[in-house]
Amino acid sequence: MIPVLSFFTVYYDYRKYNNAGEFTKNSVEISVNYYYDKNNSKYNPNWIAEEFGQQTLDELNAFLDNLEAEGRAQAKRIGKLVALSFLIIILIALIILFIVFILL
């Protein structure tokens, strides 16, 4: 009975107050917007090169490029493994269905 009442409470709140998933009473919503154009004068794109040297910036860029390439390669390997796993599961299911329907 409690799950039914809980569901009804959430459903009623959603239908009456349009608050999905939470029960509220006299709520206030505050949102803050952040725009980058207000702070463009504070941003220095050459900060790393000025503070730590051009060599450090080059090393950091090379490291980040290498990290991105490794991440893409790993994502491809994971995608291939997932596809192969689904293929194996489907083949096993087909073999089991074949055995059940043909042999029985």
Q: What's the pLDDT at 18? A: 65
In contact, 51 and 40? CB cutoff 8 Å: no
* pTM, to two decimals: 0.43
Is a pLDDT exceeding 90 seen at residue 3?
A: no
Average pLDDT, the chain: 83
Predicted confidence at residue 20, as pLDDT, reads: 56
Q: Average pLDDT for residues 31-46, to the nearest whole number?
A: 74
Q: Give domain limits for the chain.
A: 49-104
